[in-house]
Structure 1
Amino acid sequence: MIHQKYVDDYITAYKMGAIKLNKERIMLMNYLEKYVLNNDNLYFDEERINDYITFTEKWFFPTVMYQRFLAAFIFLYDSTTDDVYYDEHFWVVGRGAGKNGTISSLSAFLISQLNGIAGYNGSIVANSEDQAKTSITEIYDTVETNPVLKSSFNANKSQTEGLATHSIVKYQTSNGKTKDGLRDGFVVFDEIHQYQDDSGVSVYESGLGKRPQSRQFELGSDGYVRDGYLDNKKEIALQVMQGELPPDTMFPFWCKLDSEDEIDDESMWEKANPMLSKPLTSYGKTLFRKIKKDYLKLQSEPSKREEFLTKRMNLPLIDLEKSVAPYEQVKATNKPIPMDKLEGREAIGSLDFASLRDFAACGLTFKMDGKVYFVSHQFARKKFVDKYYGYSANPSDRPRNAAPIGEWEEQGLMTILDTETIAPEKVVNWFVAMREKYSIKKIVIDNFRADVLRKFFVDAGFELDVINNPTAIDGLLAPRIEDGFAANKFIWGDNPLLRWNTQNVLVTIDSKGNKKYGKKEERRRKTDGFKAFEYGEYRVDDLNDFDPEESLEFLNGLDF
């Protein structure tokens, strides 16, 4: 067996119960003891390990146990080749675990005289220039504030050179089209959860191997891209730890919760973020307080739960398609609307009129006593509802599970028009009638039908607020809508049509965590009423939450 102090310390801490590890890191411990630490051809370069730790703690930050453990395997060598044993390091840690600080200190060390390899250039690669520059900027700031380092490094905000080795580390973006011919000694791929595939990294990988002791580091927290670069690396990591690939294929350090239930046990959070393992440093204590605050916010802002699980706890949703809200929360909108109290109040009008040939949904949004009320009405063409829902057929002849259009019509929730199209005048006239009772500030519509409808609304004396990019507001409004449902903030009256619309919405999440409202089925499962509700939410903050009659009574009571 081969031994190294920092490796032994970490393994002993786990076995003694001093730290908690997730199942993937437990697999790592078993794999190391079975395939690596019992290989007498391997050795740890103690001088480089200690030099790196000393260098980091003197110039950058105090290290913690897991960082020292990782450092040891960076400088693990094979005596039969005199080369590094691991040329690929895969680290997935929760947000705030000190990833960028590690990149900074390690990059500076590797180009320095302490590493001692001439021309050992490095690239720090990320999807965005700002992210890629993070560590380069940190190295620059560290060098500029320490005169001793200035004698060893020539640093600016785009690159840093180790003067003794003539080695340069610079930032790059994952667009590697013009990077052929690189001769890097090391490459750091940062924020790998954003990579859709390996097309942005293959050029950099091909540049390795031309210098001695070449290494690549793949770092990040988890994200929303599924079946991409990160998920592929996870599969390789599992195969390595299960003995299905050669032991030196990759060094995998993968931190995460083992189950969603563990989110509610703060003692388990260190499974995802090793910076939270005891004893906590001052940074670790600050980080824990920040994570705890984020967790407590989930009680009032459940829309942040997915991000907390994904970024903080490295436990992303596998199914990135979902409904707007659990049906129990949608049903909770079924509370009486106090129409008499809303009379005279300000309202935001909204309209979804995607097609002249099927459905159109109108609505009014009100604020009162901390609640949001939505009064709506929809129009549909008879030929459309006959075709898809058997509207005119005998109940026994209707398609199975067809929407009960006739019942909703009888309830006054919608109007069926026996015309070739839904005339714009119909929807405009509904708002005109509503204006006799309510103060409609403006009417929000999307840009798809704005040109057709504008003249009709303007002629009727309404102000239009056109949403130029309806898809973009989905991501903006999704947290507000999700939190509003969870808090039972929305009141729609007994409106099964609107509840049906809402349940027909398919929420998808893109690679950046933004949500988009689509349809679970394109033709039959209509979402128009929900979209009208969403458009009202877009401008709900323009409304004042006060009773006009109370304001008048207050003014009449003043002695001018």
Structure 2
Amino acid sequence: MSSYPAWVFDNSPIPDPHGKGQRAVDFLRALRHPKSSLPGRQFQLDRWQDRIIRKVYGDTKPDGTRRIKTVFALIPRGNRKTTLGAALAMLHLGPERIPGSQVVSAAVDRDQARIALEEMKGVIGAHPRLEEAFQVQDTKNRINHRKSAAFYRAMSADAATAHGRTPVFALVDELHAWKKRDLWDAIKTGLVKTPGSLLVVTTTAGIGRENVAYDMYSYAQKVATGVIEDDAFLPILFEADKDEDWRDEAVWHRVNPGLSCTPPYPDIDGMRQMVREAEHRPADREMFRQLHLNIWLDGAANPEWDLGIWDENAGELDLSSWEGRRAWIGVDLSKRIDLSAVATAIELDDGRLALHVQSFTPEAQLRRRADSDGAPYPLWAEQGWLTVCPGDIVDYSYIESHVRKMADMFTVEEVNFDPYMARDMVASLEGSGIPVNLFSQGIMNFAKPVVDFEDMMMTRRLVHGGNPLLRWSVGNTVMQRDANENRKPNKDRSSDRIDPTVASIMAVARAVANATGRSSYDDAPDDPDLYSV
């Protein structure tokens, strides 16, 4: 079972030496909510929420100052986490208020950001004393406390309005959906300027590891399991284990805290219907696992391969020690504003292949691509996995230079090209005596190579050095299938860039075919029409 906050449901004592936890709970229970079914429309604070509030605000240091500075709450969809977040924001305009302080909530876009604001407006409008105490500036996404000058503001991921602010409390909603990190960085740097500040992240699980949400989730897991000691960081992880049966309602109840309440939420009959339909739709199954069981997914919503197995192939790449060995190269030339890749498969003594993959992208597009793809291209460039070409387009001379470098270092048996846009480079390499092969992109030409690549991975005979850009690409890969279950990488259906994977499949498959003395073409049918690009 994954990390799990047992203290939320047991009866263990929660420290409250200065009564601040009780004060927070009393304040929230005195509020009203327009959608509440309780008498007098009393704000509904369920037991699991009550205990989280007591833990965050009651567990103070001996001098009464805040112990917990960061809360990371992984809560499945439908468990009213936005209502909980809005309640926390109200606390910082109430008993936790500091005169002149800034309270913010932030989300990926304007509509999402206003959800917490609308919750707070409803709470204020339901209580005459609060209506008198606060001024709601709806068009400015702002709520002012009249006497103290403290204010709340809802923000979306637009850092132009974020830098320079020094919030005392920040609620970050659905961090898994944030592709840009400008607003996140602005909030984090602003919080450290204010003593006693508090950051609360409420989110469902996400997809992929190359994002700020996964960085936070990974840290939260390590704190929860004791790998890292950090008593200022509170991990609250309602999540199922990846291997648990996603159809098991006992798992649903453990992971969804709202199902322990009366009446329960989310709608369990709706969940049952989703599962019945998802039995026959793999993409819906993965969506259910992600959003309702909080299982963090790798890459595509329905990825072709288990990245846990991929990671077991990592090993270490030591190119200099393998100099002179036989090698096969795959080159995938993208459009010149996209990602291109060169994969080199190097024959080792024990039946394994070392796989070195270098990717290429234009400098002018680097930051924009990082934001649109949600991938840390600048970091990968700094680590050496990504070559940044000056200008607005990929300079193919950089790619050709890398191929020639590999040909100088190894005994290159073959450089395989996707024929698309490869004519000039093919002619140049052939003119230098480097063996070149055009690798048709038809599904039958990929059928055996995909199997060979998969076999090398599954038998842990592919040493890729833990290349994070390649890992991201493999996790994005979705296959096109024909009636006979032949497969080829499908760039249109894959969740993001897969060019490094395509180049790797070509290189590895040609290496396997030559090592066995059998060409991958030997297993293809005779019909030449099936080789069409």
The Cα of 1:313 is off from its aligned counterpart by 1.0
Q: Is 2:109 aligned against 1:128?
A: yes
- Which residue of the partner structure matches residue 154 of structure 2? 171
* In structure 2, C-alpha distance between the alignment counterparts of 1:59 and 1:104, rounded to whole Å: 17
Q: What are the residue-to-residue correspondences of 1:300-449 with 2, within 5 Å?
A: 300-318=280-298, 320=300, 387=437
CA contact (8 A) 2:101 2:150 kept: yes
* In structure 1, C-alpha distance between the alignment counterparts of 2:249 and 2:255, rounded to whole Å: 11
The Cα of 1:217 is off from its aligned counterpart by 0.6
Q: What are the residue-to-residue correspondences of 1:477-516 with 2, within 5 Å?
A: 499-500=485-486, 502-505=487-490, 510=495
- Which residue of the partner structure matches residue 265 of structure 1? 248
- Which residue of the partner structure matches residue 117 of structure 1? 98
- The one-character-per-residue Cα deviations of 1:355-394 (angstroms, maximum 9, x if unpaired) are 9xxxxxxxxxxxxxxxxxxxxxxxx99x99x95589xxxx
The Cα of 1:44 is off from its aligned counterpart by 4.9
CA contact (8 A) 2:133 2:146 kept: yes
The amino acid of 2:276's aligned partner reads L
* In structure 2, C-alpha distance between the alignment counterparts of 1:69 and 1:40, rounded to whole Å: 11
Q: Secondary structure at the match of 2:231?
A: helix
CA contact (8 A) 1:104 1:135 kept: yes
* In structure 2, C-alpha distance between the alignment counterparts of 1:229 and 1:272, rounded to whole Å: 23
Q: Secondary structure at the match of 2:31?
A: helix
TM-score (normalised: structure 2): 0.55
CA contact (8 A) 1:191 1:221 kept: yes
The Cα of 1:236 is off from its aligned counterpart by 1.9
How has the CA–CA distance of structure 1 residues 105 and 44 changed in structure 2, closer, same or farther, with 3 Å as cutoff?
closer
- Which residue of the partner structure matches residue 64 of structure 2? 82
How has the CA–CA distance of structure 1 residues 319 and 212 changed in structure 2, closer, same or farther, with 3 Å as cutoff?
closer
The amino acid of 2:295's aligned partner reads L
- Which residue of the partner structure matches residue 166 of structure 2? 183
The Cα of 1:234 is off from its aligned counterpart by 2.2
The Cα of 1:211 is off from its aligned counterpart by 4.3
* In structure 2, C-alpha distance between the alignment counterparts of 1:147 and 1:118, rounded to whole Å: 22
The Cα of 1:247 is off from its aligned counterpart by 3.5
CA contact (8 A) 2:75 2:256 kept: yes
The amino acid of 2:271's aligned partner reads I
The amino acid of 1:313's aligned partner reads L
How has the CA–CA distance of structure 1 residues 299 and 165 changed in structure 2, closer, same or farther, with 3 Å as cutoff?
same
CA contact (8 A) 2:107 2:174 kept: yes
Q: Is 2:196 aligned against 1:217?
A: no
* In structure 2, C-alpha distance between the alignment counterparts of 1:510 and 1:235, rounded to whole Å: 22
Q: Structure 2 regions of 5+ residues with no counterpart?
A: 34-39, 307-333, 336-418, 427-435, 451-475, 511-519, 522-528
- Which residue of the partner structure matches residue 248 of structure 1? 231
- Which residue of the partner structure matches residue 177 of structure 2? 194
| CA root-mean-square deviation | 4.6
- Which residue of the partner structure matches residue 25 of structure 1? 4
TM-score (normalised: structure 1): 0.52
Q: Secondary structure at the match of 1:83?
A: coil
Q: How many residues align?
A: 349
How has the CA–CA distance of structure 1 residues 195 and 104 changed in structure 2, closer, same or farther, with 3 Å as cutoff?
same
CA contact (8 A) 1:123 1:169 kept: yes
* In structure 1, C-alpha distance between the alignment counterparts of 2:106 and 2:253, rounded to whole Å: 27
The Cα of 1:28 is off from its aligned counterpart by 6.7
CA contact (8 A) 1:195 1:225 kept: no
The amino acid of 1:55's aligned partner reads L
The amino acid of 1:122's aligned partner reads V
CA contact (8 A) 1:43 1:78 kept: no
- Which residue of the partner structure matches residue 206 of structure 1? 189
The amino acid of 1:155's aligned partner reads V
CA contact (8 A) 1:255 1:272 kept: yes
- Which residue of the partner structure matches residue 64 of structure 1? 46
